Amino acid sequence: MDDALLTLLRKVDTPTVCNAIEVAQGRRGFNAFTRGTVISSAPTAPSVVGYARTAKIAAAVPSNEDAAAIKTRRRDYYRHMADGSSPSIAVIEDLDFPHCVGAFWGEINATVHRGLGLSGVLTNGVMRDLGDVPDDFPMIAGSIGPSHAFVHVEAIGVPVTVFGMTVAPGDLVHADRHGAVVVPPEVIPVLAASIEKLQATERLILEPARQEGFDLAKFEEAWANFEAART
């Protein structure tokens, strides 16, 4: 992924990327996206784009491991987050979902991860400290809560499932207030052109619809042009 594509992806929203992937693949049926409603700590921030750093956490009950093992895994977790290709995004599966209770993400963890070079986080778990977290580190989460409960890291650098979307370490993820998608590797070389084609095609409908005097006849003409451009 070159700098030009990264800049473009940060400017467009995740629905646009979903549609552009279908343009690149030449068919509908792309399904590597989240299901359900997410909550963003920074809904007007640019989209988060990055290669996934993954982990699993839990918080509802204390870990049954000894303190030394918990401490070692937490240290290994931060090493994993700091390693690998950039840009990067943390993708964290809370194993308590859908009954998540402990916020792993708040002012401290968001600031630390941002300092380690990550662009943001996607999690089905809990976030807190809204208003105190960095504005340029969006947290896209499943819920908001006040406590960290017994939160601890269970696994590091493994495939995770967040809102029905499976993410492997190193997958390219695009996320915003709508949710997230995993970008298939084979479409990356043509993704910028596919976004441009998608936007040009959508203008065939949007521009007439925004003009004075738009009516059913003009819609039918615009839709015919739209359909022709998509085939």
CA distance 182 to 196: 19
Residue 218 placed within a domain: yes
Let me know whether 124 and 83 are in one domain: yes
Element (H, E) at 80: helix 67-82
Q: Which domain holds residue 203?
A: 191-230
Residue ranges of the chain with pLDDT lower than 50? none
Residue 75 placed within a domain: yes
Q: How many domains does the chain have?
A: 2
Residue 11 placed within a domain: no
Let me know whether 125 and 216 are in one domain: no
Report pLDDT for 84. Answer: 86
- The answer to whether the annotation marks 210 as part of a ligand binding site is no
Let me know whether 153 and 207 are in one domain: no
Report pLDDT for 230. Answer: 74
Report pLDDT for 228. Answer: 87
Let me know whether 55 and 119 are in one domain: yes
- The model's pTM is 0.94
Task: Output 181-186 pairs: Cβ under 8 A, ≥24 positions apart.
Answer: 181/14, 181/17, 181/18, 181/21, 181/32, 181/33, 181/34, 182/32, 182/33, 183/17, 183/21, 184/21, 184/25, 184/30, 184/32
DSSP-assigned beta bridge partners for residue 160 = 167
Let me know whether 157 and 219 are in one domain: no
Sign of the four-CA dihedral 144, 146, 150, 151: positive
Report pLDDT for 231. Answer: 56
- The answer to whether the annotation marks 114 as part of a ligand binding site is no
Let me know whether 143 and 74 are in one domain: yes
